[in-house]
Amino acid sequence: MIAPTTPRKDMVMFIVFAIAILTLPIWMAPLGGSYPDLLQKFAIFGLFAVGFNILFGLTGYLSFGHAAFLGVGSYTAVWSFKLLSMNILPAIFFGMITSGLFALIIGYVSLRRSGIYFSILTLAFAQMSYNLAYSVLTPITYGETGLQLAQYDPRILDAQATVEGGGIPLTNLFGLEMQGWPGFYFCAVVLIIGFYIAMRITRSPFGMMLLAVKSNQNRMNYTGLNTRPYTLAAFVISGIYAGLAGSLMAVTDPLAGAERMQWTASGEVVLMTILGGVGTLLGPVLGAAIIKYFENIFSAINESVLHAFFGFLPDFIENGLVNVASLFVGKGWHLTLGVLFMVMVIFLPGGVIEAYDRIRKRFFSKETRSSAAPQAGDD
């Protein structure tokens, strides 16, 4: 059985989601994660993954080059800060526009193929963009050093803002500076809006066609539907989401570097989406939060923390455990992530959302829920 969707169920999910995001600073405190830097990352990467899921989760086209759009969004936003204004709205607007145009071009070419060939094409485009940003386009991207703000940038829209010896002004929303908590709350609100839009897309006729693309393109063609514009639209929408996430990165920390476009960054969003639950609405946000949490918390643990943790044990056991555990923390946090990812893919291919569904089914409902297959958009 596939539970039918209703506007009411969606509204409940959306409200719970919005409250959970806005209260992150409170309930992340016991988990040691209640500081704006980390929570901003939750929101930004959550948004990136939500957009990525519109392409990967709904149409099944696995892009390995979405970081390119993230990078384009960042560069554009920083240029907007330099040339136009430190106000973040134009930065975000132009970040979304340029990444959307980029996605249109790359998508138009890449979507001529499907499956692994599509993935390879997007990967190749992203690596090309990375190399362009790193070396060829140095006048625009400032290559290795990265694009940074300078005190004497033109900023033509806020003319009187450059005070002699006053330092570089901060990014702001009509005067409200986007550092620390205001920065987080701004990103959180954008994430909530982005989530709502993704939810509407998933439940729309357009979203249904994207699911049809994933399920059977042949039948789609013989049903009178042209698959190409559907996949291209999904690609561009998810590219715009990535550009938005990229410009938010620049909003909270106004610099842009080429490493943001590297394939590892593209791979990361794939991991986030799969870890959370491909094709579900909440999964990508959860996956992004889990990965960013691990990155920040596990990488901060060092040997002395471990010694303190295992301190109650006899010395030789303590040392042994610390030696083993230290492989998985600090710089080795990727190892933890890798193990977690493997366990998830093998035992829970539907990600955290599938885990939740299974638990819920086991404990809370003994009625007529039969099908265990995770369903797109069915959280």
Partner 1 sequence: MKILEVSNVNKRFGGLQALDDVNLTVEQGHVHAIIGPNGAGKSTLLNCFVGRLMPDTGSVIFDGTSLLGLAPHEINQTGVSRVFQTPEIFEDLSLLDNLMIPALAKRDGAFTLNAWGRVDQDAEIRDQAEHMLEDVGLQDKRHLQSGTMSRGDKRRLELAMCLVQNPKLLLLDEPTAGMSRADTNNTIDLLKKIGERGITKVIIEHDMHVVFSLANRVSVLAQGHVIAEGTPEEMKEDQRVKDAYLGAGHE
Binding site residues, partner 1, CB under 8 A: 1-7, 200-201, 203-209, 211-212, 214-216, 218-227, 229-230, 233, 237, 371, 373, 375-376
Return the residue matching tokens 């039969």. 370
Decide: 57 and 376 in contact? Cβ < 8 Å.
yes
Please give the helix or strand (H or E) that residue 368 lies within, else none.
none
Smallest separation, CB 209 to partner 1 (Å): 7
**DSSP-derived secondary structure letter, 3:** P
- Give me the DSSP letters along 79-107: HHHHHT-SBHHHHHHHHHHHHHHHHHHHH
Nearest alpha carbon to residue 99 among 80, 72, 77: 72
Decide: 236 and 105 in contact? Cβ < 8 Å.
no
Nearest alpha carbon to residue 72 among 116, 128, 5, 9: 128
Amino acid letter at 212?
A
Nearest alpha carbon to residue 102 among 134, 137, 135, 67: 67
Smallest separation, CB 218 to partner 1 (Å): 6
Q: In whole angstroms, what separates CA 280 from the centre of its chain? A: 14
41: CB partners within 8 A, 6+ apart: 292, 296
Closer to partner 1 by Cβ: residue 169 or 351: 351
Smallest separation, CB 365 to partner 1 (Å): 16
Closer to partner 1 by Cβ: residue 4 or 30: 4
Closer to partner 1 by Cβ: residue 203 or 361: 203
Question: Could you give the CA distance from residue 344 to residue 342 in angstroms, rounded to a whole number?
Answer: 5
Q: What angle do CA 96, 102, 107 make, to 5 degrees?
A: 120
Smallest separation, CB 37 to partner 1 (Å): 34
Question: Could you give the CA distance from residue 251 to residue 190 in angstroms, rounded to a whole number?
Answer: 12
Q: Which residues pair with 148 in a beta bridge?
A: 255
Nearest alpha carbon to residue 227 among 348, 60, 47, 23: 60
Residue 12 burial (10 A CB sphere; 0-12, 13-18, 19+): exposed
**DSSP-derived secondary structure letter, 142:** -
Smallest separation, CB 229 to partner 1 (Å): 4
Smallest separation, CB 51 to partner 1 (Å): 13
Smallest separation, CB 67 to partner 1 (Å): 24
> CB-side exposure of 308: number of CA atoms within 13 Å?
5
Smallest separation, CB 175 to partner 1 (Å): 33
Strands 255-256 and 147-148, how do they pair? antiparallel
Closer to partner 1 by Cβ: residue 44 or 212: 212
Smallest separation, CB 238 to partner 1 (Å): 12
Closer to partner 1 by Cβ: residue 139 or 205: 205
Smallest separation, CB 212 to partner 1 (Å): 5
